[in-house]
């Protein structure tokens, strides 16, 4: 097969399993701010911006006006009580393959930059360009994240239709589709049917199967 011109990666749920890292930080920040336990995480907010998630948690207890306080405190807890996320299968294989083939690649995530920086450092990941939520005016599901990353990798708009975007969330899949790129689903939290309905052109259990597909 002819390889795509570029590969863009979401982070949480594609490169790492960070559910525990984020969950612990939300819980401890919420406890510190409101002296009570946090509501369960809503699947509908998976892949959403941290500010939207903060607004949701605060709305459950009628404290919408404290959303920004929770967002900032959660980011602090995420850094101070940093929990190294679990690397998902295929990440090292696919990044080595892309490096060997000299195909540009990078990360565009709705996670905060400090968390991405800490994770990439501790897991010794090879991603030359990493964008976090502070890099965009409009986070996913808006297309800005992937357009910004593609531009940083020196791609022009006509190249976008030949760029793969690995995503596990519906918000991220929508962002890739709106950017005019090719969404590729990873089965971390949504079914193949759900991801394809959102726009994924191919779906793989993990990046390992995607790597095997590309090298066959």
d(CA 193, CA 114): 34
What is residue 103's predicted lDDT score, i.e. its pLDDT?
A: 98
Same domain, 134 and 211: yes
| 119/202 same-domain check | yes
The confidence score (pLDDT) of residue 43 equals 80
Residue 65 lies in a domain: yes
Question: CA torsion 167→172→173→175, rounded to 10°?
Answer: -140
Q: Is residue 1 part of a domain?
A: no
**pTM assigned to the model:** 0.91
What is the domain-level CATH number for residue 128?
Answer: 3.40.50.1000
Tokens standing for 56? 């949701």
Residue 79: the pLDDT is 86
Domain that holds residue 52: 19-80
Residue numbers of the chain with a pLDDT score lower than 70: none
Asked if 43 and 189 count as a contact pair (C-beta separation under 8 A), the reply is yes
* Burial annotation 76-86 (CB, 10 A radius, 16+ → b, else e): ebbeeebbebe
H-type helices in the chain, by residue range? Answer: 19-34, 50-60, 67-80, 91-100, 113-122, 144-152, 170-178, 192-198, 207-215
Q: Decide: helix, strand or coil at residue 188.
A: coil
Dist CA 158 CA 142 (whole Å): 19
Residues 128/114, Cβ–Cβ less than 8 Å: no
- Cα–Cα distance for residue pair 149/6, rounded to 1 Å: 11
* 137 lies in some domain: yes
Sign of CA dihedral 9, 149, 122, 48: negative
**10 and 116 in a common domain:** yes
The total number of structural domains in the chain stands at: 2
Query: What distance in Å separates the CA atoms of residue 38 and residue 160, rounded to the nearest whole number?
Result: 40
- CA 36, 37, 42, 48 torsion: positive or negative? positive
């Amino acid at each position: 097969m002819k390889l795509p011109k570029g590969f863009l990666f979401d982070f949480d749920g594609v490169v790492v399993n960070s559910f525990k890292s984020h969950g612990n930080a939300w819980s401890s920040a919420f406890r510190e701010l409101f002296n009570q336990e946090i509501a369960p995480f809503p699947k509908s907010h998976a892949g959403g911006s941290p500010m939207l998630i903060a607004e949701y948690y605060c709305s459950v207890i009628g404290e919408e006006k404290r959303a920004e306080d929770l967002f900032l405190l959660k980011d602090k807890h995420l850094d101070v009580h940093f929990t190294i996320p679990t690397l998902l299968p295929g990440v090292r294989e696919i990044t080595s393959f892309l490096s060997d083939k000299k195909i540009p690649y990078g990360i565009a995530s709705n996670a905060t930059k400090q968390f991405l920086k800490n994770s990439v450092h501790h897991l010794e990941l090879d991603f030359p360009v990493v964008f976090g939520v502070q890099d965009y005016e409009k986070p996913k599901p808006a297309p800005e994240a992937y357009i910004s990353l593609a531009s940083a990798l020196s791609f022009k708009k006509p190249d976008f239709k030949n760029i793969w975007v690995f995503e596990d969330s519906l918000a991220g899949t929508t962002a890739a589709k709106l950017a005019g790129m090719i969404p590729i689903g990873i089965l971390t939290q949504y079914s193949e049917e759900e991801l394809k309905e959102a726009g994924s052109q191919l779906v793989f259990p993990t990046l390992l199967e995607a790597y095997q597909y590309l090298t066959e």
